[in-house]
Amino acid sequence: MTTSHTSDANGAGPTDEAVRAELSRLRDSIDNIDAAVVHMLAERFKCTQQVGHLKANHHLPPADPDREARQIARLRELAENAKLDPAFAEKLLNFIIAEVIRHHETIAKSA
């Protein structure tokens, strides 16, 4: 294994080329995952937009607290099973739900 004698980005000293290659590989994976997350969120919002139109057309309220509570409980369980912090998952879903409700309110006003 060869060792580079160049400093890393922080100037911390010699960086092993294998470490730099592994870091690059992991960052590429992270970039791919981020892209997949963005595409999945886009698909989710396409569906929630349709829900918003359906609710507006049938004069249903933009928010559904019972559904939201069930979704949060479900997501917390999924997070636990996936070894992800359930509190983080809940915060993320609450952020998404708030955005969905905002969209539904906008759709309802324009209906």
Which tens digit of pLDDT belongs to each residue from 56-93?
999 999 999 999 999 999 999 999 999 999 999 999 99
The pLDDT of residue 111 = 84
The pLDDT of residue 4 = 47
The pLDDT of residue 69 = 97
> Percentages helix, strand, coil for the chain, rounded to the nearest 5?
75, 5, 20
Specify whether the backbone of 83 is left (phi greater than 0), alpha (psi in -120 to 50) or beta.
left
Which tens digit of pLDDT belongs to each residue from 12-48?
556 799 999 999 999 999 999 999 999 999 999 999 9
